[in-house]
Chains A and B, each alone.
Chain A
Amino acid sequence: MSSMEKTPLSETKEMQPLLKVRDFSLAFPQYENGFQETYIQVIRDFELSIYPGEIVAVVGSSGSGKSLLADSILGILPENAKTGGKIYFEGTRLTKRRQEQLRGNAISLIPQSVKALDPLMKTGKQVQSIVRDKKAKKRIQREAFQKLGLPANTDKKYPFELSGGMARRVLIATAMASEARLIIADEPTPGLDKKTLREILQNIKQLSENNRGIMFITHDIHAALKIADKIAVFYGGETLEIARKEDFSGDGENLRHPYTKALWRALPENDFKALKGNQPEAGRVPKGCVFEPRCPIATDFCKKNKPKSEIINNGMVRCFYA
């Protein structure tokens, strides 16, 4: 904690961050042998800042709790979830009440699955429901559809009549039609063909115009590098590193964390060498550094002690040897 407060990431820029997450943790109760209640820790020590007009990618492999992150910020977690730490939106603490007011207004979600569209409601109406101004909602929805290249009659169609790419664009249109200053895109690009993927990424980039901040949750590091300004690496429920896009270059010598370096080298255009093993399951996280069991440079010290986050070379990292 102390090292973090010496040079908080937020003070490296003059502007006030749109979203600031500090030491955020999330746990769910679990019942062992019937009645013994224990908490299973899904996210811990999570930190992130997003500034207006910035796209920050949160990259992590599946099962690292990325979608729950989106739900936490929006305040739509299941009732039994237990959260810790602080989330600030435009400098003010996000309480449950404030989340209720902000979601759909100042904070908007682009969900992961096209199943997020109500199967029995016409798409136009679903997009319009996010616009608060009743008189303008039709116009705003039409403009959003037009901007995203959706045919004019799309609003009269039901979700099952749309192709995957179109349905995805309808989801993006929802964020576009909203007056959100922060957009959380929760894995908006799974299973798309190359051309559609490129277009969808372009659409998301479009959203960041007008000074909107975007949190782009993905497991696709390629997609992240294409549009993001900063990349937060999410592993075993923690942020291991927040690096600028430019740091991902060459052999990864500008990257700070061994896991990020390994990710970078695992890409086909680099060494194409994958790291052995899997990330720890929630609830089975080691006592020391979360990456220690797979880390090529780990020592005994890493086994027993948990690294705090530090700012190195204008990026955040959580490693003793960075």
Chain B
Amino acid sequence: MIKFILKKIGKLIGLLAAISILSFVLISYSPVDPVRSYIGAEIARISPEQQKNIEAYWGLDQSKPQQFLQWAKAVAQGNLGNSLIYRKPVSEIIIERFTASLALMGLAWLFSGVLGFFLGILGGMNEGSTLDRFIKTYCFILASTPAFWLGLLLLMFFASYLGWFPVGLASPAGILSEEVSFVDKINHLILPVLTLSIVGVAGIALHTREKLVEVLNSEFIRFARAKGESGMKLLWRHGLRNISLPAISLHFASFGELFGGAVLTEQVFSYPGLGQAVVKAGLGGDVPLLLGITLFSVVFIFFGNFMADLLYVAIDPRMKIKTVND
């Protein structure tokens, strides 16, 4: 087990190194000019000499590999630099923003998982029925629905037309952060969470349905029925056990899509999370923040996949023996 975890951590380090190089190369060839984005509109009032001075101060006159090494060294020491648009350390922003996103993504992850699993079971148990076809169609439509579009629809209907929920942000405007109540926070969370949950349902539901159909047609279900087991007991003893593990691991492995969905959803709802920060960083040419969030998202997605693998090893008896023999 320890060997397995160490191996995975080694892989993460390799992955991080590769992603840093790749994103650094991409950014250094992009038209983003750090000096320009740092100074902003005042750029016209600064002489070319002064610009050169700032570039030299930041090390932009050095060669690209040298720049990378300098940045990588700082990152390895835990220093992600300062954000150009927020004027704060990148790590601080990531922690702050991620905490906000965590509520959104965590809830959406939970809801979509439970709902998707449930719908998948309903469909799989009634394969070919009207209910099954309805669930399938619903999932296919969802799977091809962009999160931002659904978010806009919900916003139009529930916030604008019905006026049930606020239009955006994580708390009411014009109120001190100490005065924001828990209810306010929940109220602002509902629509974004709903958007992300609805979009996340399709994958898990279709997968669970497919897996359940496969399991129900398997030899061991036939044998269990021949042994006199039936109905819910049969599903509980042999069905759920065999479909829940793949479903859970699939759901953990979907952290990437979750993050991608959060980026769009937060943008639509002006929700001050990590997703919104990454869009701002990209548009504002905030290189340190952009790179910082990129690396963070790699760790986040890796963590999801790692949890999926770990669950398999911890729960599935077949995997246990294999790793012991490794």
Mark A residues whose CB is within 8 Å of B.
71, 74, 76, 100, 103-105, 108-109, 111-113, 115-121, 129-130, 158, 160-161, 171, 174, 178
Contacts and interface: CB of A to CB of B under 8 A. Distances in A.
Contacts of A178: 227
A118 B318 contact: no
6 contacts: A111-B226, A116-B222, A120-B245, A129-B224, A130-B227, A130-B228
Contacts of B237: 118, 121, 129
Interface string B212-238: 000000111011111111100000011
Contact of A129 (B227, B318, B321): B227
B317 interface: yes
Q: Which of A108, A130, A171 has the most CB of B within 10 A?
A: A130
Given A121-B238, A121-B241, A161-B321, A116 B220 contact: yes
B263 to A, nearest CB: 37
Nearest to A118: B220
Contact of B222 (A76, A108, A120, A121): A76
Contacts of B242: 118-120
A181 B218 CA distance: 26
A103 B241 contact: no
B316 interface: yes
B228 A105 contact: yes
Is the interface on chain B under 10, 10 to 19, 20 to 34, or 35 or more residues?
A: 20 to 34
Nearest to A117: B220
Nearest to A106: B228
A178 B229 CA distance: 13
B126 to A, nearest CB: 11
Contacts of A174: 227
Contacts of A103: 225-228
Given A111-B219, A116-B222, 7 more contacts: A103-B227, A109-B227, A116-B219, A121-B237, A121-B241, A158-B317, A160-B317
Contacts of B224: 118, 129
A180 to B, nearest CB: 10
Given A115-B218, A116-B220, A76 B318 contact: no
A120 B226 contact: no
Contacts of A76: 222, 225-226
Given A104-B226, A121-B241, A129-B227, A158 B219 contact: no
Nearest to A171: B223
A198 to B, nearest CB: 24
B227 A104 contact: yes
A76 B227 CA distance: 11
Nearest to B224: A118
A140 to B, nearest CB: 14
Nearest to A101: B228
